Amino acid sequence: MKLPKKQILKHCQTILDSIADAVFTVDLDLRITSFNKGSEKVTGIPREEAIGKPCFEILKTSMCKKNCLIKQTIKEQKPIVNMPVYILRPDKKRIPISVTTALLKDPKGKIIGGVETFRDLTIVDKLRKALRKQHSFDDIVSKSGKMLHLFSILPQIAESNSTVLITGASGTGKELFARAIHNNSQKKKGPFIAINCGALPDTLCEAELFGYKAGAFTDAKKDKPGRFALAQNGTIFLDEIGDISKAVQVRLLRVLENKVYEPLGSTKTITTNARVIAATHQNLEKLVEKGEFREDLYFRVNIIKLSLPPLLDRKEDIPVLVDHFIDQFNHLTNREIVALSQNALAAIMLHDWPGNVRELENAIEHAFVLCRGDMIRLHNLPDRMVPKSDSLLISTGRTLKEIEKHAIEQALEKNEWKKMATARELGIDKNTLRRKINRLGIS
């Protein structure tokens, strides 16, 4: 028996109301034709008020004005899956939601509108922030096994007063680790004094470290305390210790062994209780073999050693770090950027990050300057990170590894598996491409 149209519509509404997620439909003019209880709950707007209104007046999402998702679906006839946006409720609350869209067709297959499903991510957002706290130590965030191991031993390292050597490429976060150790140590109420030894010439480095008395050299008009004096009762961080000269190495060795030093031009011995944390991007063992770094000083600074892996070896950290930097720059700039688009995420997963975490932070800051919406897109990233083809135009719902693998496979197929041409198109080195092919199991 064929049911009357009103009864069919009533049944449909009952089915829609039974769905926990918010669901509504629109016609080709983007006016709402149905609005379930889930939609009422999330938006705070009753069904009677929503029906017949343009969807952008009801939802007021962060993308409604310029990049309406359901309009884009109807125009391009392609669904959108789990797009993160915000809606603004009548009570002025901003609610994070995840939007999925699809086409609405009549029995003959003609497009008559669109359907949008969205889910309140408030609880998920809270859980994500709580999970990030579990994967962080001070201002350092990571989910990499290597980094989490370092997090697990940092409290014990912080409790001791032993000298620490932090190694790792430039931009891996050596100073962040040094600050984290200081902030969790018994000297946390004291000063944290940092000095980049590699940025100073020999004579200036010595003066900066130990200070000088008036008349010690031509421009020494008055006494000046050195960094060790400023770090009294606290921590001194000697960055790029591998770059200091032999003469400064001798004086530094005495400080580490006897906890005393003399300012330039002074005969008075000063005692220091500053904890020393050193860092370098160089291989000190090789410098010792070459005679460029004193072996006795090496053993003095290498009591506890932390080796930080490059970002290339912990790409699983990229989404966590991106979230962290987005939150950070949202706070600093009073913006409300939600996330990276799928293509932007794919692009940064392809990048090798020679500048490591610092380069990633700078890239997100660059994107904040150029982004005019609430989502960072491919064209907002620095040019060096944007591939030279559209091989990153992929479907949503993939893992990070699948995103990178898919992009490389598409580029390889397009270039008939010629690695040099593929590398040029992706904007990466040929050797880098070969390593990625092996790591991702592409054959």
> What per-residue confidence (pLDDT) applies to 129?
60
pLDDT at residue 59 is higher than 70: yes
Instruction: Output 48-56 pairs: Cβ under 8 A, ≥24 positions apart.
Output: 50/24, 54/29, 54/30, 55/24, 55/26, 55/30, 55/31, 55/116, 56/30
CA 293, distance to chain mean position in Å, is: 35
Whose structure tokens read 């669904």? Answer: 79
Q: Give residue-wise pLDDT tens across range 362-399.
A: 999 999 999 987 889 889 999 988 877 655 555 444 56
* Strand partners for 212: 224, 264
Average model confidence (pLDDT) across the chain: 84
Q: Give residue-wise pLDDT tens across range 296-353.
A: 999 999 999 999 999 988 888 898 899 889 988 988 888 888 888 888 888 898 888 9
90 in Cβ contact with 80 (< 8 Å): no
First-to-last C-alpha distance (Å) of the chain: 57
Q: Tell me what the mean pLDDT of segment 289-302 comes to.
A: 95
Q: Which residues of 99-129 are buried (b: 16+ CB within 10 A; e: fewer)?
A: bbbbbbeeeeeeeebbbbbbbbbeeeeeeee
> What per-residue confidence (pLDDT) applies to 133?
58
Give the tokens for residue 17: 């109301």
Q: Give residue-wise pLDDT tens across range 67-92.
A: 788 888 888 888 888 777 778 788 87
d(CA 337, CA 324): 12
> What per-residue confidence (pLDDT) applies to 283?
94
| Domains of the chain and any CATH numbers | 5-123 (3.30.450.20), 140-309 (3.40.50.300), 313-440 (1.10.8.60)
Q: Tell me what the mean pLDDT of segment 1-15 comes to.
A: 59
Instruction: Give the single-character DSSP code of 242.
Output: G
d(CA 227, CA 118): 56
Give the tokens for residue 1: 């028996």
DSSP string, 267-328: ---EE---EEEEEESS-HHHHHHTTSS-HHHHHHH-SEEEEPPPGGG-GGGHHHHHHHHHHH
Q: Give residue-wise pLDDT tens across range 198-228.
A: 888 877 888 889 988 876 676 777 888 889 9
Of 135 and 282, the one with more pLDDT: 282
Beta strand 80-88 pairing with 94-105: antiparallel
Of 121 and 16, the one with more pLDDT: 121
pLDDT at residue 20 is higher than 90: no
What SS3 class is residue 129? helix
DSSP string, 317-385: GHHHHHHHHHHHHHHHHT----EE-HHHHHHHHH---TTHHHHHHHHHHHHHHH--SSEE-GGGS-GGG
Of 230 and 59, the one with more pLDDT: 230
pTM for this predicted structure = 0.68
Beta strand 235-239 pairing with 275-280: parallel
* Strand partners for 376: 340
> What per-residue confidence (pLDDT) applies to 345?
87
d(CA 392, CA 409): 10
> What per-residue confidence (pLDDT) applies to 57?
83
pLDDT band at 100 (very low <50, low <70, confident <90, very high): confident
> What per-residue confidence (pLDDT) applies to 405?
79
pLDDT band at 94 (very low <50, low <70, confident <90, very high): confident
